[in-house]
Amino acid sequence: MIEMLSYEFMQRAFLAGMLIAILASVSGTFVVLKRYSMISETLAHSALVGVAVALVAGYNPLWVAVVVSILSAWLIEYLRSAFALYSDAILSILLSGSLAVAVIIVSIGGEFNNSLFAYLFGSILSVSGEDIATIFIFGFIALFLLLLFSKEFYFIAYDEEVAKTSGIRVKLLNYLLVTIVAIIVALSIRIIGTLLIGALMVIPTIAALQYQVGFLRTSLLSVIFAVLSVIVGMTLSFYFSLPSGATIVLCVLSIFVLSLLINKK
Amino acid sequence: MSIAFKSPIFDVKNLNFSASGQDILAHISLEIFHGEYIAIIGPNGGGKTTLIRLLLGLEKPTTGNIKIFGKDLKHFKEWNKIGFVPQRAAQVDQNFPATALDIVRMGRTSKRKLFSRESEEDIQAVDDAMAKMDILNLKDKMVGTLSGGQRQRVMIARALASNPEILILDEPNTGVDIVSQQNFYKLLSKLNKEENITIVFITHDIGVIADDIGRLFTINQKAIICNDPKAALSCEDMSDLYGISAHLVHNHKHEH
């Protein structure tokens, strides 16, 4: 462990990974309770469009991913409220649409295929000092907003209409939540990868729900599961040269299966 | 009951609502005053729930006017003066991670200021609401494990936690056993008389509530407002409202 942390890139990856684990699991709790789990998958694919554009145009991929992901989140929320479309259908349409656009952009600038692979599956080696700064700046803003409005998000997740009738600005807060989720998803793709970030958002909460405890304890359990998965996953990834995102997801899946077995009725 | 109160809580003028080309509610005009105890009855699909949704701003009227506490609905902001318990209140998602206390605390959410923690006043209001509903002993129980009647009381405690002036309940007895239902009506009556909370609720159980309520609104697209519910509950009116032939059924107690 100490040997592993003597590498500067591992220190960076650990720092970023832990923050992302906290962010993904806290926001994931609200997303799961709102029955909106698929949104993380869709936003991750939108973020990939941002990455593709940045790679071709020579910008910082993380920044562009954040911007495109936020725009996509707003589009989803707008379509959901303005048209009588099914939420899951909207997510599905935007997911495949984004992926198609990303693939076309990448195929135009063919030489960037290798870089894109790292964004699909996550690569701790690729986390730069600038990435760490971006992850921390946006990450702390996202975490601050999540905690500031956690009571409102919880109420809305419980019953959107009752929350509205009690004077909570549901529409505005729904936009805020998807914006925060978009930021977190975009920040995560360096470490976890587009194809796997959804798992880190959704599975820790589903595992925590198995223990049937109140909201605060569920949130705490979900954070512990996510952080633990990142620590163990990254360590295994370092020593066995495995892709970081996939290893982290397998860890969180193991925790989920254990939680299911422990709480089997 | 005298209804010589100040300006009405709800003042509805010539309200019309249609969806997909069908008239759901037509020419509804009504007033709800402070301290009243009102039941709304009518057949399924008659527009009872739609009326409540319009009053709460969850639907926009096709035409007509709604004033709440003297203000136009569009400009009304003091929603925590109104406690709402929806139809599905007792049918909560079994897996939702909430204790009874978590749910009742939600009632204070819209009152809190940004950056402020739970205040003494919040804690007291939540405690009072739970005490009124006699659920203090269920505080740490997960809502998914409670009975229908217990959940119903948790949901009403949530609505009461914001210290509302009016409580609106949409068929709150769905999924609740008979004994709990009877206790429930006693409780509503107590809240109305002792706490002076205006009560409006939608129900099917006309017989159980007839003794207590002040006014009865019967809704089947149109509204008929009866100031004397007992007289209104005659067979002719019921036949008219539900569109079927109604008969009086006397309940005899069997003595052994």
CB–CB contact B98 A162 (8 Å) = no
Instruction: Give the architecture-level CATH label for domain B10-242.
Output: 3-Layer(aba) Sandwich (3.40)
Q: How large is the C-alpha radius of gyration of chain A? A: 18
Residue A259 backbone dihedrals phi, psi, to 5 degrees: -60, -40
Residues of chain A found within 8 Å of residue B144, distances taken between Cβ atoms = 212
Within chain A, what is the greatest distance between any pair of CA atoms? 56
In order of A157, B213, B226, B247, the CA distances from B229 in angstroms are 39, 7, 6, 17
A130-162 pLDDT, tens digit each: 888 888 998 999 999 999 999 999 999 999 999
Cα four-point dihedral sign A28, A29, A30, A31: positive
CB–CB contact B110 A168 (8 Å) = yes
Size of interface A-B (CB pairs under 8 A): 72
Q: Which of A21, A67, A14 is nearest to A255 (CA)?
A: A21
Please state the rounded mean pLDDT for residues B149-157.
89
pLDDT at residue B244 above 50? yes
Which DSSP string do the residues of A160-226 spell out, in sequence order?
Answer: HHHHHHTT--HHHHHHHHHHHHHHHHHHHTTTT-TTTHHHHHHHHHHHHHTT---HHHHHHHHHHHH
Please state the rounded mean pLDDT for residues B170-193.
79
Residue of chain A nearest B87, judged by CA positions: A162
Report the distance separating Cα A38 and Cα A172, nearest Å.
21
| Residue A218, min C-alpha distance to chain B (Å) | 7
> Residues of B80-102 as b/e, b for ≥16 C-beta within 10 angstroms?
bbbbbbbbbbbebeeebbbbbbb
- Tokens, residue A205: 């909460």
pLDDT at B55: 93
- Tokens, residue A14: 């650990």
- Whether the CB-CB separation of B107 and B130 falls below 8 Å is answered with no
CB–CB contact B142 A33 (8 Å) = no
Residues of chain B found within 8 Å of residue A223, distances taken between Cβ atoms = none
pLDDT at B198: 94
Give A57's pLDDT tier (boundaries 50, 70, 90).
confident
Please enumerate residues of B whose Cβ is less than 8 A from a Cβ of A. Answer: 56-58, 77-80, 82, 84, 86, 95-99, 101-103, 105-107, 109-110, 112, 114-115, 140, 142, 144-145, 162
pLDDT at residue B247 above 60? no
- Whether the CB-CB separation of A43 and A163 falls below 8 Å is answered with no
B107-149 pLDDT, tens digit each: 999 887 777 788 889 999 999 999 988 899 999 999 988 888 8
Q: Where are the beta strands (DSSP E) in chain B?
A: 10-19, 22-32, 37-41, 63-68, 71-72, 82-85, 166-170, 198-202, 215-220, 222-226
pLDDT at B251: 42
pLDDT at B181: 75
pLDDT at B22: 85
Give the type of residue at A204: P
Residues of chain B found within 8 Å of residue A161, distances taken between Cβ atoms = 58, 86
pLDDT at A107: 83
Please state the rounded mean pLDDT for residues B87-98.
78
pLDDT at A83: 78
Of B56, B97, B115, the CB nearest to A165: B56
Please state the rounded mean pLDDT for residues A160-186.
93
Of A161, A166, A213, the CB nearest to B80: A166
In order of their start, the domains of chain A are 4-260 (1.10.3470.10)
Give B239's pLDDT tier (boundaries 50, 70, 90).
low
pLDDT at A72: 95
Alpha helices in chain A (DSSP H): 2-5, 8-33, 38-57, 61-82, 87-108, 113-121, 129-148, 150-158, 160-165, 170-188, 197-209, 215-240, 244-262
Give A80's pLDDT tier (boundaries 50, 70, 90).
confident
- If one counts every other C-beta atom within 10 angstroms of the C-beta of residue B70, the result is 11
Residue B192 backbone dihedrals phi, psi, to 5 degrees: -70, -45
pLDDT at B256: 38
| pTM assigned to the model | 0.88
Q: Which of B20, B38, B25 is nearest to B64 (CA)?
A: B25
Give B241's pLDDT tier (boundaries 50, 70, 90).
low
Q: Which of A201, A185, A205, A220 is nearest to A256 (CA)?
A: A205
CB–CB contact A165 B95 (8 Å) = no
Please state the rounded mean pLDDT for residues B166-181.
78
pLDDT at B166: 94
CA B17 to chain CA mean position, Å: 20
pLDDT at A120: 81
pLDDT at A208: 96
Of A161, A168, A209, the CB nearest to B86: A161
Residue of chain A nearest B85, judged by CA positions: A162
Report the distance separating Cα A246 and Cα A121, nearest Å.
7
Residues of chain A found within 8 Å of residue B102, distances taken between Cβ atoms = 154, 214-215
pLDDT at residue B250 above 50? no
Contacts of B21 (CB under 8 A, 6+ apart): none
pLDDT at B253: 40
CA A74 to chain CA mean position, Å: 16
